[in-house]
Amino acid sequence: MEHMELVDFCGLLGMNGEAGAACRAYAWEADAVQEAYRLLYGRPARFFHRLSAGTQVPQRSLALYVQFAQMLWPVYRQWGIPKEIYLDTFSDIALWEREYFEAHGAHGLTETEWLAHHVRMEIFRLGSLQFQPQKEPLEEVWKSAGIDGTEMVLNVHIPKGADLDTGAVRQSYVRALDFWGCGSAVLLCESWLLSPQLGELLPQKSRIRSFAKEFSVIAVEESSRQAEERIFGAVKADPRDYPENGTSLQLAARRHLITGGSLPAGFGWQKIVKP
């Protein structure tokens, strides 16, 4: 895949032909891609500063990150990571490219700091969910979860449109244990899906509710507006400005917010064990 035409590679990631053509139009020279990658690893602050300079930043960023992904295929192959995981992981670039297009009507990419985790091989998508080893100890979580310091700890991220069916989620957990070769792990998740108030607005059989109830929520971020952004597509200063028609969740969330309620993001943990 490292020698595949850039437009064709974009198609493998899930981009349409126009997005692929934009990547080709703003493609970086091979030496510049290598230099940018070394900078991202060694001096990330300088990398992002340089990336943000000049014109057509979202377009150049899209091309560069696709080229990063293409460049990493030999590394995945050397590590014995299957092609499916490689493509699933970097399909996140296509997801955020579509988000940018929906918002701006042009092809580009702005989620460069988030996607830096992918190109530094810190995040992998395994089925429905993304997983990222937790590097720094979180003492309050360790104490709450009874972690002794030897347990594998993984951050869980939920891509937009992820299948949260109970079976699909459990399969992702098993794949994560297999990927890191461990029999058990502690999962950490910080997300609007774990908002305690959100559970009250969802039906009993909701997949979101089923996913969230497996986590023990130990903290909330009251200032977070992520739930509103994800539910409505954009955050409004006055909840009365949210549409009066929509999905049952949108209507319930609107009523909840208008009456003074909030939807803070939740932070929780759970322990998983290989069956």
Do residues 159 and 180 both lie within one domain?
yes
Q: Write the DSSP symbol of residue 204.
A: T
Do residues 140 and 175 both lie within one domain?
yes
Do residues 180 and 110 both lie within one domain?
no
Answer whether residue 1 is part of any domain.
Answer: no
Do residues 118 and 139 both lie within one domain?
no
Range of the domain at 179: 126-273
DSSP string, 11-47: HHHT--HHHHHHHHHTPPPHHHHHHHHHHHHH-HHHH
Answer whether residue 168 is part of any domain.
Answer: yes
Do residues 208 and 185 both lie within one domain?
yes
| Gap between the Cα atoms of 148 and 228, Å rounded | 37
Do residues 113 and 132 both lie within one domain?
no
Do residues 69 and 183 both lie within one domain?
no
pLDDT in tens, the chain (275 residues): 777 899 999 999 999 999 999 999 999 999 999 999 999 999 999 999 999 998 999 999 999 999 999 999 999 999 999 999 999 999 999 999 999 999 999 999 999 999 999 999 999 999 999 999 988 766 766 676 666 667 789 999 999 899 999 999 999 999 999 999 999 999 999 999 999 999 889 888 899 999 999 999 988 998 899 999 999 988 999 999 999 888 888 988 999 999 999 999 999 999 999 98
Considering its fold, how many domains does the chain have in total?
2
Do residues 118 and 130 both lie within one domain?
no
Residues paired with residue 216 on neighbouring β-strands, in sequence order? 269
